[in-house]
Amino acid sequence: MSEHYWKVIVKPNIDFGLCAEYSISILPKANIEALNLKAYYKSYRAGEESFESEYFFLVKHPSAEEWLLALGGICDKPEVQGVYACPSPKHFLAVIDNVAYYVDSSLPNNATPVAHSVDSIEVSLPNQQLFVVTSKTIIAIGKSGLMWESPELFPDGVYITIISKDLIWGHGDEVDGEYGAFKISVNDGSLVQNNWYTETYSAE
């Protein structure tokens, strides 16, 4: 079956140093018919049961039959931006057109939309946490799954600079030569400090 593979994205024990029990391959749409497997579709857009997907995830987990997953993004023909191992060994995070999905590799069709407008994915190995950074908030994923979502930190751009045992430091986009800085708790995402603009922003 390997002749149908396009690109192997995830292998056990390599992504972020987090242990993964599964493997994933991404296949072009043209190659899935030869696999003779049922494909499961998931989209974050409510009421959309199927969509045009250019690529499919072939998921292999030792306790389940291999299965195919197609995920919908914002565009009509979504592109895969990344696949990331999670602190839970059987889960992975897939980002499609800035939409993040939390997927259980051992259960076909168990994909949960986590966020849209995703800007980056960060990791803290000491804390065993994965962070989904959106344009306004941060979402934490731990060994038991989704842990918390921070309050809105900035209106259009959030960047993590330091992750410690207890705190996440970051900043927001510059406006009129100034920028915002924040600290939030690693444990629950609560705001510890948030210094926003000192002047009212004007587009003029």
pLDDT, tens digit, 9 for 90 and up, residues 153-202 = 988 889 999 999 999 999 987 666 567 889 999 999 999 987 755 444 44
Q: How confident is the model at residue 105 (pLDDT cuts 50, 70, 90)?
A: very high
pTM: 0.84
How does the average pLDDT of the chain come out, rounded? 82
Structural domains in the chain?
1-114 (no CATH), 117-204 (2.40.10.480)
Q: Is residue 153 within 8 Å of residue 163, measured between CB atoms?
A: no
What backbone phi and psi angles, to 5 degrees, belong to 40?
-105, 135
Give the distance from CA 2 to its chain's centroid: 27
Q: Which residue has the higher pLDDT, 194 or 93?
A: 93
Token pair of 176, please? 């009129």
Phi, psi (degrees; rounded to nearest 5) at 41: -110, 140
Tell me what pLDDT residue 47 has: 58
Q: How high is the pLDDT of residue 177?
A: 57
Structural contact between residues 157 and 179, judged by C-beta atoms closer than 8 angstroms: no
Q: Among 101, 134, 10, 116, which Cα is nearest to 60's?
A: 10
